Amino acid sequence: MFAPLTAFNFNYGLENTNIFSYDEAAYGHDFNRLRLESTLEHSDKPLLAKLLLDNKTSCIFQQSELTNRTEIYRAYLEYAGERHFIVLGRQRVPFGVGRIWNPIDVFNPIDSFSVEPAEREGTEALRYEYALSDLSNLDVTLSKQKSAARIKGFLHSADLALVGVTDSDGDRDIIGYEAAGELFNTNIELRSEGGSFYNRNTGERSTEFIVGADYGFQNSFTVLGEYRYNDDTQTDYFGLSLSYQPSPLVFLTLLHITQINDASFFTAPAIEYSIADDMTIRGGALLYHGGSGDEFGSVADSYYLNLYVHF
């Protein structure tokens, strides 16, 4: 028997993001995304259905190229019981603890070089989580060509996890870890993730990991640092992220990433201003520096203006 419609609560909202960008290769690009977010939730039972639908229009002026498409950003069913948590559908799989890089995240890793690093494509997956105790859990994620299992718990002052990943899409398998916790009572948060990566094509193993820390001052200034190492490519990176809110309406951020081996770097400054409670404007740049053979030396700089409105 179906539950009566009165047992469900339906909510929806609209938001629009328009990003105009211009790069040094003389390409002007206007991107507009209209997003519908709808949620259907049972008032008495731990059941929820969510749909986020995007209509995207992209225009590259110099090439007279115009595209428009509608696609699903998120669409999933969720059950959240006392010990069992199940999500089925296109979802954001929570994996890894890094803020600039996610080496063990094969589902939807961070793209720190994008205008919107918080926008992370979902994965069609079945995710199951079981609470072993109040401070530990086991979760399994199954998706097309990718799967993962993780056991996670709280030990003393840190969250620790052991992770196993199979990635047929990337022809690799991963035995990894996650660790995050406070350094004594200093309010400094330490994080690390990484592991051993097995290449199915070559039969070789490599190691990749990140180590990071962040601290927030009382005046809203936050500093975050993250180091990344990959012994397969023999490359080291260091990322520094700064944020500061000098007033309730203004928010400043700066991301700087250095490729330590060739000394090339990427810098992304941005300023955001709240025009109203439901409207913000953000301006920034993606700047690259290095020699012609360096990792960040041959990428064109770009500048953007992002207008966000929530209806």
23-58: per-residue pLDDT in tens?
877 689 999 999 999 999 998 899 999 999 999 999
Residue 135 resides in a domain: no
Given a cut of 60, whether residue 275 has pLDDT beyond it is yes
Could you tell me the pLDDT band of residue 63, with boundaries at 50, 70 and 90?
A: confident
Residue 280 resides in a domain: yes
How is residue 41 written in tokens? 């939730």
Could you tell me the pLDDT band of residue 5, with boundaries at 50, 70 and 90?
A: low
Q: DSSP characters for 223-289? A: EEEEEEEETTTTEEEEEEEEEEEEETTEEEEEEEEEETTT--EEEEEEEEEEEETTEEEEEEEEEEE
CA 237, CA 225: separation in Å to the nearest integer? Answer: 11
Given a cut of 80, whether residue 3 has pLDDT beyond it is no
Residue 258 resides in a domain: yes
**Region 215-221 average pLDDT:** 96
* Sign of the torsion angle spanned by Cα atoms 168, 172, 175, 178: negative
Could you tell me the pLDDT band of residue 224, with boundaries at 50, 70 and 90?
A: very high
Burial (CB < 10 A; 0-12, 13-18, 19+), residue 20, is middle
Residue 265 resides in a domain: yes
Residue 304 resides in a domain: yes
Residue 71 resides in a domain: no
Domain that holds residue 295: 234-311
Check residue 1 and give its pLDDT. Answer: 35
- The pLDDT tens digits for 284-301 are 999 999 999 999 998 999
**Region 84-93 average pLDDT:** 97
Residue 97 resides in a domain: no
| Average pLDDT, rounded, for the chain | 95
**Region 102-128 average pLDDT:** 95
Residue 267 resides in a domain: yes
Residue located via tokens 């993001």: 17
Type of residue found at 48: L
* Total domains in the fold of the chain: 1
